[in-house]
Chain A
Amino acid sequence: MTPLLQVNNIEKNYGARLGCKDVSFDLYPGEVMGIVGESGSGKSTLLNCLAGHLEPDTGEVLFNTRIEGMRDTLKMSEPERRMLARTDWAFVHQNARDGLRMGISAGGNMGERLMAVGDRHYGQIRTQATEWLEKVEISEERIDDRPSAFSGGMQQRLQIARNLITGPRLVFMDEPTGGLDVSVQARLLDLIRSLVRELGLSAIIVTHDLAVVRLLADRLMVMKSGHVVESGLTDQVLDDPQDAYTQLLVSSVLQV
């Protein structure tokens, strides 16, 4: 089976400071990969390099495109990469405000991605937006409300709907549950899990919350100071951590 995403030797430095180094992995269709680590460990740098928001110093990010097969997204032209970013890729920001247009209604926010790929039929856009609102458990009557009138959890769900409406194959998530209270977090996780399974999405989820990866991720990469210190199946890494840092991380989880 060809991997959907193949990452080879990504390195990113911020001047003399290291962002991340020697990161390589393959992601297969339908697979969810978790990246965990403490603050400043290079998780977000890595994710931004993969999603094309940052340019890594070295390395390759090969994506299995629908038409041309494996392509290095870093060598793509900007129009191609932006096209990819709004069709086959999706990026869920930690803060919903970064991923939504706050001055535009929920329906408009979802419709934007459809219109960006050439949808020009209001009725169809509206129907799809309504369907997706239902999928992310937001009442249909809120479709014309602005995201600023939504709660944090709803904003995050709306952001997810906006991202998934064009049927992407790969979703990047940067701390999707950050800043939400635990009950809302649980609901959101449940939602993401069912959507990922239902749609057969591949996803890369960056988080510092081990519970999130336990629930969502098939595989896990643990990062520390810009390096990957351990990787493997999620349950294997969490139940039997080998690296000293991973052991520390797993044992630091508060038990209620």
Chain B
Amino acid sequence: MSEYNFAYLDEQTKRMIRRAILKGLAIPGYQVPFASREMPMPYGWGTGGVQVSAACLMPEDVLKVIDQGADDTNNAVSIRKFFEKTANVETTAATSEATLIQTRHRIPEEDLTEDQILVYQVPIPEPLRFLEPRETETRKMHALEEYGLMYVKLYEDISQHGQIATSYSYPLKIEGRYVMDPSPIPKFDNPKMEMSAIQLFGAGREQRIYAVPPYTKAVSLDFEDYPFEAMKADGCCALCGADHTYLDEVIIDDDGGRMFVCSDTDYCESRRAAGHVGAQATPQNQEAAAS
């Protein structure tokens, strides 16, 4: 433990990041630049989220790390181990027990509470980036609230696919002001962003932090005649039988066999523990099917 400062980053850096976080919370949806540090992991693996988590972690915190809803995938395991080693904090897979949750591309199914912080890993914080490559211009567009261009993306979707085909990173307007990229969470999760927990977004490579305070209005952009729709795969979880959760499709053999399972592994497991059984669940052999 003594080789590292608590939670890896030095105190000055954490202070700088906390200031950015506070500013982000004060201006919901606004991208605050910060001096992102080199982290001992490649860009794209959550360097932004890790720095935000490190700045927020307290010794008494209980940490949960999820990657695409799962607690046991590569990215989640390595970040969890990183903080176990550098901060010596308790970790958990149970959503309700965690005080700080770092997530990649999902919001947990279980409702979060006011005592929790949700930290997102963000690859590209700028929702207008693929439409307007100039940073100077996108900043000006945010400043002047010129968001017509964001709708062009949705227009293109409808004209090409007959519906708004954007299914992740679906832009939201926060508190009636800033348009924000929610990081690549499925649009199924968008309505959940009006929640009780603090939501922080860290983009390490792009050096931006932004935030959504609790109970902040977050409206997904749409057209009057093509309203926003939270989409999920049609079906129920094969393990726990849930039909209200976001589902992953798992190919199970070479003959086109497939099953849907909850992407939130912790939620799925707790449902099965509570006695819910899905169509393909074999209660004795749960672990093998879940991966």
Interface size class of A (residues with CB under 8 A): 20 to 34
Residues of chain B within 8 A (CB-CB) of A105 are 156, 159-160
Q: A120-B224, A122-B223 are in contact. Are A115 and B148 (CB under 8 A)?
A: yes
Q: Please give, as numbers and ranges, the residues of chain A lying within 8 Å of B158 by CB-CB distance.
A: 122
Tell me which residues from 205 to 238 in chain B have a Cβ below 8 Å from any Cβ of chain A.
223-226
CA of A120 to CA of B223, assembled, Å: 5
Interface size (B, Cβ < 8 Å)?
16
Question: Which of A27-35, A39-47, A106-114, A222-230 lies at the interface?
Answer: A106-114
Q: Does B168 contact A (CB under 8 A)?
A: no
- Chain A residues with CB under 8 A of B225: 121-123
Cα(A107)–Cα(B158), bound, Å: 11
Cα distance, A120 to B151, chains bound together (Å):
8
Contact indicator A108/B159 (Cβ below 8 Å)? yes
User: Total contacts A to B, CB within 8 angstroms?
Assistant: 55
* A57 within 8 A of partner (CB): no
Q: Say whether A144 contacts B160, CB under 8 Å.
A: yes
> Which A residues from 84 to 140 make CB contacts under 8 A with B?
86, 101, 104-105, 107-108, 111-118, 120-123, 125-126
User: In the complex, are the beta carbons of A82 and B146 less than 8 A apart?
Assistant: yes
Q: Across the interface, do A101 and B131 meet the contact criterion of CB distance under 8 Å?
A: yes
For residue B160, which residue of chain A has the nearest CB? A144
Distance (whole angstroms) from the CB of A104 to the closest CB of chain B = 6
Residues A116 and B224 in contact, CB atoms below 8 Å apart: no
Q: Which of B144-189 contact A (CB under 8 A)?
A: 144, 146, 148-149, 151-152, 155-156, 158-160
A192 within 8 A of B: no
Nearest residue (CB) in A for B221 is A120
The listed residue (B144, B156, B224) touching A108 by CB distance below 8 A is B156
A79 within 8 Å of B (CB atoms): yes
A121 pairs with B223, CB closer than 8 A: yes
Q: Is the CB of B159 within 8 A of A78?
A: no
Complex CA distance for A125 and B155, rounded to whole angstroms: 9
Q: Whole-angstrom distance between the alpha carbons of A125 and B159 in the complex?
A: 11
> Quick check: A108 and B146 within 8 Å, CB to CB?
no
Cβ of A143 under 8 Å from chain B: yes
A101 CA / B130 CA spacing, docked (Å): 11
Q: Tell me the complex Cα distance, A107–B159, Å.
A: 8
**Residues of A close to B131: CB separation below 8 A:** 101, 104
Residue in A78, A79, A122, A143 whose Cβ sees the most chain B Cβ within 10 Å: A122
Task: Out of A112, A125, A144, name the residue touching B149 (CB < 8 Å).
Answer: A112
The answer to whether B144 touches A79 (Cβ under 8 A) is yes
- Say yes or no: A121-B148 contact (C-beta < 8 A), given A107-B155, A143-B159, A144-B160: no
Chain A nearest CB, measured from B270 CB (Å): 41
Question: What's the least CB distance linking A97 to chain B, in Å?
Answer: 14
Hey, which chain B residues are within 8 Å of A101, CB to CB? 131, 152
How would residues 106 to 117 of chain B score, 1 for a CB under 8 Å from any chain A CB and 0 otherwise? 000000000000
Q: Cβ of B160: which chain A residues have Cβ within 8 Å of it?
A: 105, 144
CA of A108 to CA of B151, assembled, Å: 9
| Distance in angstroms between the alpha carbons of A153 and B148 in the assembled complex | 27
Is A117 touching B148 in the complex (CB atoms < 8 A)? yes
CB of B151 within 8 A of CB of A115, answer: yes
**Residues of chain B contacted by A144 (CB below 8 angstroms):** 159-160
Q: How far is the CA of A114 from the CA of B226 in the complex (A)?
A: 17
Find residues 63-90 in chain B having any chain A CB closer than 8 Å to their own CB. none
B154 to chain A: closest residue by CB: A122
Contact of A115 among B144, B152, B159, B226 (CB under 8 A): B152
Residues of B within 8 A of A122 (CB): 155, 158, 223-226
Residues of chain A in range 141-187 having any CB-CB distance to chain B below 8 Å: 143-144
- Chain A residues positioned under 8 Å from B152 (CB to CB): 101, 104, 108, 111-112, 115
Residues of B within 8 A of A143 (CB): 159
| Contact sample, A vs B, 13 pairs, CB 8 Å cutoff | A82-B144, A104-B131, A104-B156, A105-B156, A107-B159, A108-B159, A117-B148, A120-B151, A121-B223, A122-B155, A122-B223, A125-B155, A144-B160
List 12 additional A-B contacts (Cβ < 8 Å) besides A108-B159, A122-B224: A79-B144, A82-B146, A104-B156, A107-B155, A107-B159, A114-B148, A115-B155, A118-B148, A120-B223, A121-B225, A122-B223, A122-B226
